[in-house]
Amino acid sequence: FSEFENPFAWIQNSLFTMSSSLYLALVVERTFAVRNAARYEQTRFHLLPLAIVICLSMAVALFIVYANFWLVEMLTTIIIVYTIEGCTLISSVSLIIYARRKYGHIPYDSDRLKAKYQVKEVLDFSMAILPSLIIGAVMHTLSLVPTLLWMYGIISMAVDGTLFYSVHSLNCILSKLTLIGCHKEMRQRLKQMFFKGSSEGIHIVRDAEGEGRQYFEQIKAAWDKHEKHNPREKYIS
């Protein structure tokens, strides 16, 4: 393993593990946002939880690198990373199902409009990130093929390293481009960065705010119409 014990391999493995861990943390955070939509929507960004999540992801990444290159526990590290990615994928699908049910049961009440909007945002993001997670899982599985071929002496370590890191590099490109392509806001910002002038950025922000106001107005109109025709009916969230 002397050829693999170099800074590039350490950095690549640590960043890949951190990315997988942060994906899982993101799904967990989005699940909390759906479960406590009304209270969560009113909270502001806090630096401390973000720092804790990043530190935990770094700790997992450092452990993976240490176990992989110093303890030579490749099978153990593969199982750990696959467990993280499997939990992320399963949690993402569960989050989509949960968010859809939650969104359908939140009443069109003026006191719950923000909560309903929060759940809708989580649902949209979950639908956008799922294809990226699937591509990442498939590409990660493909990256194991050259490693297994090297372990059985079919290919050399040089060929194994070339194929392994090429697949991982391609995975980073495909998964992130898929996420951007499936997420409307990210797609708009990418177009703004590469295809439009900087002055158009203001219009994108204003359009987003206008869409938000229009969304609330439509929900409020639907609620008022329902109250007019069904004054005694009540919803249970």
CA distance 140 to 117: 35
Give the pLDDT confidence score for residue 65 in this predicted structure: 83
Question: How many separate domains does the chain show?
Answer: 1
The answer on pLDDT for 94 being more than 60 is: yes
What average pLDDT does this structure show over 80-92? Answer: 87
Asked if residue 53 is part of any domain, the answer here is yes
What average pLDDT does this structure show over 147-168? Answer: 84
Asked if residue 68 is part of any domain, the answer here is yes
**pLDDT tens-digit readout, 97-148:** 988 888 877 766 655 677 777 788 888 888 888 888 888 888 888 888 888 8
Q: Which position has the higher pLDDT, 45 or 63?
A: 63
Asked if residue 45 is part of any domain, the answer here is yes
Count of positions (residues) in the chain: 237
Q: What 3-state class would DSSP assign to 43? A: coil
Domain range for residue 30? Answer: 7-187
The answer on pLDDT for 51 being more than 50 is: yes
Q: What average pLDDT is seen over the chain?
A: 75
Q: Which residues contact 237 (CB under 8 A, 6 or more apart)?
A: 105, 106, 107, 109, 112
Asked if residue 22 is part of any domain, the answer here is yes
Q: Which residues contact 38 (CB under 8 A, 6 or more apart)?
A: 112, 114, 115, 118
Of 26, 32, 135, give the one whose Cα is nearest residue 88. Answer: 26
Give the pLDDT confidence score for residue 210 in this predicted structure: 54
The answer on pLDDT for 1 being more than 50 is: no
Q: Which position has the higher pLDDT, 80 or 198?
A: 80
Q: Which position has the higher pLDDT, 32 or 233?
A: 32
Asked if residue 46 is part of any domain, the answer here is yes
Asked if residue 131 is part of any domain, the answer here is yes
Asked if residue 221 is part of any domain, the answer here is no
The answer on pLDDT for 23 being more than 80 is: yes
pLDDT tier at 69, thresholds 50, 70, 90: confident
**pLDDT tens-digit readout, 179-229:** 888 888 888 887 877 776 544 444 444 454 455 556 556 665 665 555 555
The answer on pLDDT for 233 being more than 50 is: no
* DSSP designation for 71: S
The answer on pLDDT for 38 being more than 70 is: no
Please enumerate, as own/partner, the contacts of 67-70 that have beta carbons within 8 Å and a separation of 24 or more.
68/13, 69/1, 69/4, 69/5, 69/9, 69/10, 69/13
What average pLDDT does this structure show over 9-38? Answer: 80
Total-model pTM? 0.68
What average pLDDT does this structure show over 76-85? Answer: 85
Asked if residue 207 is part of any domain, the answer here is no
From first CA to last CA, the distance across the chain in angstroms is: 58
